C-alpha cells in the first residue's frame, strides 16, 4: 500500500495479490477514500531516534508472586492475558514528564509499573527458546487501573475492559533496542510517587519469563511486528490522585515519569 499525491491510501497490485485477490483485480489500483479522517497511528519513541509503530497491546495478569498474593491469589497459575487498545498509549519522550488525566468512574486509580516488550518479528506458536529472536526492544510502562471497577467486575464475573482499557491507561517510555544487549531476565523494577517508594522488585521474580510469556501468547494470537507486551507488575500497587508524579524505573532502561492531572 502507498499514499498518492492527494494523501489517499492506495492498495497496490502487490498488496492485492498478497490479500488473495485475482490477478485481474490486482492489476488495478483501488483508492481507499476514508469517509472520516483516520486516527493517527500510535507509536513509541525509540532511544537514539525513530518511532516504533504500535499494533496491539497485550498484558499479562498476576505475573509476580508477591503481587498475586496482595491481590488475593497464590501459587503459580497458567498465564492469562487481557488487552488495551493501541490508542490507550501515552508515549513519553526521554527526559520528559508525560501527562495523564484522572479518569472518570473511579475513586481508586492504581499504578502498576511493568517491563514492556516490543515485538519486532511476528509469529505463531513461537517456542520459548526462539522468543528472543522476535523481540525488538524493551521499555518501562505503566498499566494504570481503575481498581474499584476491576474489583466490581471480578465480583460480577464480568470482563475487566472498563478497568484496564480506558484512555491514557498505558504510558510507555522510550524503547531501547535489544540488539547487542540480549534478553532482560534480571534487573531492579521500582516505582515511586512524589519521590516516595511504592513498588520494588526484580525481573528475575517474574512467574512466567518473557520467553515463556511470548510462547504462551503466540498460541492464542498470531503476534505481529508492532505488538507491545506488558509483562506484569511487582507488589506494592497503590492509588494516585491528581497532582501526583509517578517515577517508574527498570534497571538499564530509560526512565518513565508521568504526572496525573
Q: Write down the pTM of the prediction.
A: 0.87
pLDDT tens-digit map of 10-23: 444 454 444 444 44
Residue-level pLDDT at 6: 36
Residue-level pLDDT at 77: 82
d(CA 119, CA 202): 22
Residue-level pLDDT at 7: 37
Residue-level pLDDT at 76: 75
- In degrees, rounded to 5, the angle at the alpha carbon of residue 92 between the alpha carbons of residues 91 and 94 is 135
Residue-level pLDDT at 70: 74
Neighbouring C-alpha atoms within 13 Å toward the C-beta of 252: 16
d(CA 145, CA 160): 10
d(CA 51, CA 258): 20
Contact 42, 89 (CB under 8 A): yes
Residue-level pLDDT at 10: 40
Closest CA to 139 of 250, 5, 51: 250
As given in the structure block, the three cell numbers for residue 242 are 491528581
Contact 136, 174 (CB under 8 A): no
d(CA 150, CA 18): 42
Stretches where the chain sits below pLDDT 70 are 1-30, 67-68, 72-75
Contact 259, 244 (CB under 8 A): yes
Residue 143: C-alpha distances to residues 46, 51, 104, 182, 195 (Å): 20, 21, 16, 24, 19
Q: What are the helix (H) ranges across the chain?
A: 13-18, 23-26, 65-70, 147-156, 161-164, 210-220
Long-range contacts, stretch 76-81, CB < 8 angstroms, 24+ apart: 76/207, 78/216, 79/207, 79/208, 79/212, 79/213, 79/216, 79/217, 81/217, 81/220
Residues with Cβ within 8 Å of residue 129, at least 6 apart in sequence: 211
- In degrees, rounded to 5, the angle at the alpha carbon of residue 93 between the alpha carbons of residues 92 and 94 is 120
Amino acid at each position: 500500500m502507498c499514499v498518492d499525491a492527494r494523501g489517499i491510501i492506495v492498495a497496490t497490485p502487490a498488496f492485492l495479490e498478497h490479500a488473495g485477490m485475482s490477478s485481474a483485480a490486482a492489476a488495478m489500483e483501488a483508492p481507499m477514500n476514508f469517509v472520516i479522517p483516520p486516527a493517527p497511528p500510535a507509536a513509541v519513541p525509540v532511544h537514539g531516534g525513530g518511532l516504533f509503530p504500535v499494533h496491539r497491546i497485550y498484558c499479562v495478569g498476576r505475573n509476580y508472586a508477591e503481587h498475586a498474593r496482595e491481590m488475593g491469589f497464590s501459587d503459580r497459575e497458567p498465564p492469562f492475558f487481557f488487552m488495551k487498545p493501541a490508542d490507550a498509549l501515552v508515549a513519553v519522550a526521554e527526559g520528559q514528564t508525560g501527562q495523564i488525566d484522572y479518569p472518570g468512574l473511579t475513586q481508586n486509580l492504581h499504578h502498576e509499573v511493568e517491563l514492556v516488550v516490543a515485538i519486532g518479528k511476528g509469529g505463531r506458536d513461537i517456542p520459548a527458546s526462539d522468543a528472543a529472536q522476535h523481540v525488538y526492544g524493551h521499555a518501562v510502562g505503566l498499566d494504570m487501573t481503575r481498581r474499584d471497577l476491576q474489583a466490581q467486575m471480578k465480583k460480577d464475573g464480568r470482563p475487566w475492559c472498563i478497568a484496564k482499557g480506558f484512555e491514557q491507561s498505558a504510558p510507555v517510555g522510550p524503547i531501547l533496542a535489544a540488539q547487542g544487549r540480549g534478553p532482560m531476565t534480571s534487573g531492579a523494577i521500582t516505582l515511586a510517587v512524589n519521590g516516595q517508594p511504592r513498588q520494588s522488585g526484580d525481573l528475575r521474580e517474574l512467574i512466567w519469563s518473557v520467553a515463556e510469556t511470548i510462547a504462551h501468547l503466540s498460541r492464542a494470537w498470531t503476534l505481529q511486528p508492532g505488538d507491545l507486551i506488558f509483562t506484569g507488575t511487582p507488589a506494592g500497587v497503590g492509588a494516585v490522585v491528581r497532582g501526583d508524579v509517578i517515577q517508574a524505573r527498570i534497571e538499564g532502561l530509560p526512565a518513565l515519569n508521568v504526572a496525573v492531572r
